[in-house]
Structure 1
């Protein structure tokens, strides 16, 4: 009888994700298409809605990317989008591992985007 062997498994491993999140995302993945498309947009109209001062805000380009990607995946609530930012590697990559909460996401779309898009 042969000895049973298993692949190494350690849920407490310090590095659970690859060094580069995009190494696991294919070149033709939807998240890359949205990223490329939003990077090409002129967002001066959106950036001009910010007054400055206070705590630094999340970049509107990043927030727009995560909203568009979430809508494509039929995620519409701010809480589900905020959860995806912490659990889905494509959302993590798209946001640059930044984690706006559901209030920030909802305020962005209902306040800044409402009259812009």
Structure 2
């Protein structure tokens, strides 16, 4: 194999130790969605979750960090605790959100299944409300895609406009009820 003398490559620095490590937050755009999740979760009231911790023994991962990881995982369509744990070790956004903490999948699953069992719906509704207050989402307009797709299993089944409007009304009623519950609990 013949080599050329005019070839030049950038230095490979993957094994190089640096004196001052770089800030991973500097590598991510300021408007990235994980920053929104971080901001909104920081403003959530989690006193009822904190009161469930007894203290003593070994230290626990902070529940606010675990909530951030859960909500951002859901945002990224990651629902498996094993995949969340893997993302905490491999994905720069998850690393930043968790402060480089790496809870294993059992810890994430126990937190979601035991500590947030009856609280996750309330937290998620509060998250949506805060995002609406900050202008990231709108609860005023809801769009329904009216695309009709033919299926091989039953080619005459379509979702009709009346059905979508009925479901939209139910959804709006549920959102109103949830937001009313949030308002009364805040007062």
Q: How far apart are 1:13 and its partner, in Å?
A: 2.4
After superposition, the C-alpha distances for 1:12-41 in whole angstroms (9 at most, x for unaligned) are 1235xx521100111110110000000011
The aligned counterpart of 1:36 is 39
Which structure: larger Rg?
A: 2
User: Is there any run of 5+ residues in structure 2 with no aligned partner, and where?
Assistant: 121-187
- Given candidates 49, 59, 76, the residue that maps to 2:62 is 59
Q: C-alpha distance in 2, partners of 1:109/1:21?
A: 27
After TM superposition, the structure 1 = structure 2 runs for residues 81-92 of structure 1, keeping only pairs within 5 Å, are: 81-92=84-95
1:10 deviates by 3.1
**Aligned residue pairs, count:** 115
* Structure 2 length-normalised TM: 0.59
Gaps of 5+ in 1: none
1:1-117 aligned within 5 A:
3-15=6-18, 19-117=22-120
Moved over 6 A (4+): none
- Structure with higher RCO (Cα < 8 A, 6+ apart): 1
Q: Secondary structure at the match of 1:86?
A: helix
2:165 counterpart residue number: none
* TM-score normalised according to structure 1 size: 0.93
